């Protein structure tokens, strides 16, 4: 990607005083600038309620080059934004990144429309896209009053992770696996997304959301779609959306257990009698011909014993013949490691050297760090780059967000809660199903 692809763009960050801008957006844009993916013909404009000038805004960022800082500007609020941009140049495209609370997305879109910013403009919004089917539908309808859906980019940063993108390559570029990717051969699918940290000062937001809204309904459902959807005709955003929608329409949440870590209600911003889940286990099914009867087990939460996101695909047991007459050979497994280490592991049976047909389990491992010398693009770099190009393949459509909320609306009504100690994983029947995958957590790390 060393070519100067993107010239003469205006990128406006609304909510430029927040942590997202400081920790993710400006550093990502700075690295893109250093790689010549955007250049001096473009401008980055921060906007917020704080009274700043260009110099004070530039000095907020110590982790970018001085040359990049020269294209940073600041404008307070949205009023007068169009005129301000026009004083900097005539740009072929203007992108507005909403680094703002979701509650003000619709009103901000209305303000931009009032400024005459509909033409040549796109907007990027972060999850959560609503908190239920009704609220998501309402938000999409409000945004569409001011911007066409082709102008709206809904970010799910999981989709930009290299290991996530590689799921489709693994499935549809390797004939070896594509033919066995169905309920005839696969017994179950397991997804774990563990965090060691707690809510980290986000109590006011998290207590209204919970881990299912924060992680499952968006990030992990997108993983399910990529893992189970039919092959697209091509790799355009429209075709990928069609195939993901096909899964979301028949995805069913069959069971759910909710947990809360001890001491959660003492966190800042959390209600003292909160029943919000910080850990959840769910069982889902896809009710179509390819996947009928294959359970998808999800477990995700905060304050657990480790950090890591993995997908485990377990194949059905080998018949009790030949080497497996006693049914002792472990089932084949494929593990996709999403973060923090990235890689793919295939667990196979092989003969122990020197033995009399003694079978053992061995691994074939592909670790990104060992296979590629080049730097892996950070998720926000890839998403910003694609948004500037107008490529929506790694973004979520309005229909996907609404269909995904429908899957879980009945789950949110369940209020039973169990408790667990910080630094542990709740002991449950769900967890037992993951034990056979746990030993692969350290591979590629």
Q: Is 75 annotated as catalytic?
A: no
pLDDT tens, residue order, the chain (445 aa):
444 466 889 999 999 988 899 999 999 999 999 998 898 999 999 999 999 999 999 999 988 999 999 999 999 999 999 999 999 998 988 999 999 989 999 999 999 999 998 777 999 999 889 999 999 999 999 999 999 999 999 999 899 988 999 999 999 999 988 889 999 999 999 999 999 999 988 899 999 999 999 999 999 999 999 999 999 999 999 999 999 999 999 999 999 999 999 999 999 999 999 999 999 999 999 999 999 999 999 999 999 999 999 999 999 988 888 878 887 888 899 999 999 888 999 988 887 786 777 777 888 888 877 777 666 778 899 999 999 989 999 999 999 999 999 999 999 988 899 999 999 998 776 656 667 778 787 778 7
For residue 232, the enclosing domain spans: 162-374+396-438
Same domain, 204 and 64: no
The H or E element that residue 27 is part of is helix 26-34
Query: Are both 121 and 181 inside the same structural domain?
Result: no
Task: With respect to residue 383, please indicate whether it lies within any of the assigned structural domains.
Answer: no
**99 and 180 belong to one structural domain:** no
What CATH number is given to the structural domain containing 57?
3.40.50.720
Residue 292 domain flag: yes
Tell me phi and psi for residue 85, to 5 degrees.
-65, -40
Structural Rg of the chain based on CA atoms? 24
- C-alpha dist (Å) from residue 34 to 3, 30, 40, 434: 11, 6, 11, 42
Contact between residue 330 and residue 437 where contact means Cβ atoms under 8 Å apart: no
Under 8 Å between Cβ of 381 and 31: yes
Last residue of a domain, one of 126, 145, 170: 126
Phi, psi of 359 (to 5 degrees): -100, 140
Q: Distance between the two ends of the chain, CA-based, in angstroms?
A: 27
pTM attached to this predicted model: 0.92
Does residue 54 fall inside a structural domain?
yes
Same domain, 360 and 408: yes
Within-domain flag for 99? yes
301 lies in the same domain as 365? yes
Sheet of 333-339: strands edge to edge? Answer: 359-367, 343-351, 333-339, 308-315, 186-194, 296-301, 279-286, 251-261, 418-420
- Domain end (from 126, 146, 170): 126
Alpha-carbon span 423 to 369, nearest angstrom: 28
Same domain, yes or no: 235 and 105: no
Residues 113 and 187 in one domain: no
What CATH code is carried by the domain that includes residue 408?
A: 3.30.360.10
H helix or E strand, kind and range, residue 420? strand 418-420
Regarding whether 114 and 227 lie in a shared domain, the answer is: no
**Cα dist from 392 to 77, 96, 379, 382, 406, whole Å:** 28, 15, 14, 11, 23
Same-domain check for residues 317 and 426: yes
| 104, 220: one domain | no
Count the neighbouring beta carbons within 10 Å of the beta carbon of residue 125.
Answer: 23
- Residue 55 and residue 74 in contact, taking contact as beta carbons nearer than 8 Å: no
Active-site choice (219, 297, 326, 410): 219
Give the total number of structural domains in the chain: 2
SS percent in the chain: helix, strand, coil, step 5: 35, 25, 40
Residues 179 and 88 in one domain: no
**Same domain, residue pair 58 and 187:** no
């Amino acid at each position: 990607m060393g070519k100067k692809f993107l010239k003469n763009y205006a990128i406006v960050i609304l909510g430029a005083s927040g942590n997202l801008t400081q920790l993710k957006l400006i550093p990502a844009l700075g690295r893109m600038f250093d790689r010549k993916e955007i250049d001096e013909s473009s401008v980055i404009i921060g906007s917020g309620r704080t009274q700043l000038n260009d110099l004070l805004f530039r000095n907020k960022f110590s982790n970018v080059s001085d040359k990049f800082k020269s294209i940073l500007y600041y404008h307070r609020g949205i009023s007068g934004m169009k005129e301000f941009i026009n004083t900097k140049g005539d740009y072929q495209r203007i992108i507005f990144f909403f680094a703002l609370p979701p509650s003000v997305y619709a009103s901000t879109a209305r303000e931009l429309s009032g400024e005459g910013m509909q033409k040549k403009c796109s907007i990027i919004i972060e999850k959560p896209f609503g908190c239920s089917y009704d609220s998501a539908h309402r938000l999409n309808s409000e945004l569409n009053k001011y911007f066409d859906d082709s102008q709206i980019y809904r970010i799910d940063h999981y989709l930009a992770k290299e290991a996530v993108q590689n799921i489709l390559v693994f499935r549809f570029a390797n004939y070896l696996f594509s033919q066995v990717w169905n309920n005839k051969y696969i017994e179950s699918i397991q997804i774990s997304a563990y965090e060691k940290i707690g809510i980290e000062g986000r109590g006011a937001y998290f207590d209204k959301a919970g881990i299912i809204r924060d992680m499952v309904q968006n990030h992990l459902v997108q993983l399910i779609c990529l893992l189970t959807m039919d092959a697209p005709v091509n790799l355009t955003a429209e075709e990928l959306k069609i195939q993901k929608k096909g899964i979301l329409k028949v995805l069913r949440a069959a069971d759910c257990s909710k947990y809360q870590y001890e001491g959660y209600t003492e966190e800042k911003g959390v209600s003292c009698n909160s029943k919000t889940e910080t850990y959840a286990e769910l069982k889902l099914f896809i009710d179509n011909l390819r996947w009928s009867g294959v359970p998808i087990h999800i477990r995700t939460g905060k304050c657990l014993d480790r950090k890591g996101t993995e997908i485990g695909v377990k194949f059905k047991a080998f018949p009790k013949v030949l080497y497996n007459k006693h049914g002792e050979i472990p089932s084949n497994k494929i593990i996709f490691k999403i973060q923090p280490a990235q890689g793919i592991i295939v667990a196979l049976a092989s003969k122990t050297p020197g033995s009399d047909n003694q079978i053992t389990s061995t691994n074939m491992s592909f670790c990104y760090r060992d296979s590629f010398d080049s730097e892996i693009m950070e998720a926000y770099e890839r998403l910003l780059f694609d948004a500037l190009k107008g490529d929506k393949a790694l973004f979520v459509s309005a229909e996907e967000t609404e269909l995904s909320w429908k899957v879980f609306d009945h789950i949110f009504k369940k209020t039973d809660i169990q408790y667990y100690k910080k630094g542990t994983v709740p002991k449950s029947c769900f967890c037992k199903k993951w034990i056979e995958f746990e030993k692969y957590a350290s591979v590629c790390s």
